[in-house]
Amino acid sequence: MSDVVIKVQNLSKQYRLGQVGTGTLKDDFKRWRYQMMGKEDPFLTIGEVNDRTKKTTANYVWALKDINFEVNRGDVLGIIGKNGAGKSTLLKILSRTTGPTTGSLKMKGRIASLLEVGTGFHGELSGRENIFLNGAIMGMSKAEIRNKFDEIVNFAGVENYIDTPVKRYSSGMYVRLAFGVAAHLEPDILIIDEVLAVGDVEFQKKAISKIQDVSKGEGRTVLFVSHNMSSIESLCNKGILLHNGTVIFSGNSVDTVQQYIQENTTITNSDLATRSDRTGTGELKFSSVKLLDERDVETDIFKQGDDIIIELHYDIFNKAYNFSGSHFSINVFDKQGNLVVCHQTFLNGLAFSNADIISKQKIQFRLTHCPLKAGEYQLACDIINAGKYIDALESIISFTVIEGNVYDNIRPITHGLVAVNGKWYI
């Protein structure tokens, strides 16, 4: 039987909208008194139901609704979803910094959390004092904290600043020390929210290694939120997908990431046959376009480092035309209109015969190991013969690239137009 360390049942969280005024306590008392008398809530708006446990349209919003899942000892659970899905709210409840409105949460063991830069430390206290303060909050003795003190300081790389108030730390120093405290004070459950986005490359490597040690080597449980899907796949063995405050998928991390991509895929109108804004002589016209992933599944969301397959279909309008020597090309533009990819068939040494082009009526281009940085892109295509366009179309389809495993789960400090890997020598 598995050792369950986290059990969440029918958990929901409701927040009140708008400004809470000085009359709030009085209003709540009046509501309670009317409820005890069996009367209608005097503060209901028109059309609102008299049930605080149901989603309302006036004064309250459900950030989480009916969440259910279990986590076993040694699991690394990745929690993913778009902004506003409820990830941070769920972590706050799991960290005991806020409580659920309804439902139950049962956890076994000591909990350490790193939710965002600036939380968990007292700015006026030194790094040394904050280490002991956090350890005491976690229920550790001074002797236990002293045994881990040097490891924490070395991990964070703040030896020269350990007696300086942390309010004078840079954001990088702050998060390194906070992560060091959370990971080294032997928590049974470690909760991390997008911490790898803040630190430098060296810190990211150390943090990833420590997360792996905590879960695999020490058998502890980790809850990890990240927008980097490759980090979720490589670090986590399980995942849950949140959407509008509910769990819409749970399973292993790879399947959860694939479900996230499918849920956010919105295939745009790829029918090109009726487009009037085309250029060319018209003997051949593009009729449709598809974007496929490495599994030949149609999608418009791709991870960095994965292959993107662009499939173009076309119709022949003049079979007497000699298409020999024609070449196809695709162009990829970013949101600012910059041309970031341009590739033609002749670059692969391809010279299509007239019979090939007339009979096939389909061509594919495979962009291997997608080098594009995370963002949105537009695709254009054309076919040229003897220096003249036969057909050319702009903005035939859009797609999104999300962060992937280009640099072995390390996030670069700055981004260029493309994300290419390479090797350094000295």
DSSP secondary structure string, 329-342? EEEEEETT--EEEE
Q: Are strands 388-402 and 301-303 parallel, antiparallel or unpaired?
A: parallel
Q: Per-residue confidence at 49, pLDDT binned at 50, 70, 90?
A: very low
CA 419 to centroid of chain Cα atoms: 18
Please, where are the H alpha helices in 291-339? none
Count other C-beta atoms under 10 Å from residue 88's C-beta: 17
Question: In this predicted structure, what is the pLDDT of residue 426?
Answer: 77
CB-CB contact of 9 with 104 (8 Å)? yes
In tens, the pLDDT along 70-89 reads 999 989 999 998 888 899 89
Q: Report residue 255: phi and psi, to 5°.
A: -65, -35
Q: Tell me which residue of 141, 151, 133, 139 sits closest to 214, measured CA to CA.
A: 151
| CA–CA distance, 175 with 88 (Å, rounded to integer) | 17
In tens, the pLDDT along 104-120 reads 999 998 888 877 655 66
Q: Tell me which residue of 200, 198, 36, 24 sits closest to 117, measured CA to CA.
A: 198
The region, left, alpha or beta by phi > 0 then psi within -120 to 50, assigned to residue 38 is left
| CA–CA distance, 245 with 267 (Å, rounded to integer) | 24
Query: What DSSP element (H or E) covers 178?
Result: helix 171-184
Question: In this predicted structure, what is the pLDDT of residue 50?
Answer: 44
| CA–CA distance, 183 with 180 (Å, rounded to integer) | 5
Question: Residue 232 is which amino acid?
Answer: I
Residues 6+ positions from 217 with CB-CB distance below 8 Å: none
- Report which DSSP code applies to 41: P
Query: Rounded to the nearest 5 degrees, what angle is found at the Cα of 253, between the Cα atoms of 174 and 234?
Result: 55
Query: What DSSP element (H or E) covers 232?
Result: helix 229-235
Please report, to the nearest 10 degrees, the dihedral formed by the alpha carbons of residues 28, 244, 372, 408 taken in order.
80
Residue 400 has pLDDT above 60, yes or no: yes
Q: Are strands 375-385 and 388-402 parallel, antiparallel or unpaired?
A: antiparallel
In tens, the pLDDT along 51-72 reads 444 545 556 788 899 999 999 9
Count other C-beta atoms under 10 Å from residue 79's C-beta: 27
| CA–CA distance, 195 with 192 (Å, rounded to integer) | 6
pTM for the full predicted model = 0.65
Residue 407 has pLDDT above 60, yes or no: yes
Count other C-beta atoms under 10 Å from residue 342's C-beta: 12
Residue 102 has pLDDT above 70, yes or no: yes
Query: Read out DSSP for 105-117?
Result: EEE-S-EEEE-ST
Count other C-beta atoms under 10 Å from residue 58's C-beta: 14
| CA–CA distance, 365 with 383 (Å, rounded to integer) | 13
The sign of the dihedral angle between the CA atoms of 273, 274, 278, 283 is positive
User: What class does CATH assign to 4-263?
Assistant: alpha beta
Question: In this predicted structure, what is the pLDDT of residue 51?
Answer: 46
Both tokens assigned to 274: 């009726």
Query: What DSSP element (H or E) covers 316?
Result: strand 308-316
Question: Residue 99 is which amino acid?
Answer: G
Q: Which of 192-201, 203-212, 410-419 has the highest mean pLDDT?
A: 203-212
CB-CB contact of 113 with 195 (8 Å)? no
Question: In this predicted structure, what is the pLDDT of residue 386?
Answer: 85
- For the chain, the domains span 4-263, 284-402
Q: Out of 48-52, 329-333, 372-376, pick the least confident.
A: 48-52
User: What class does CATH assign to 284-402?
Assistant: mainly beta
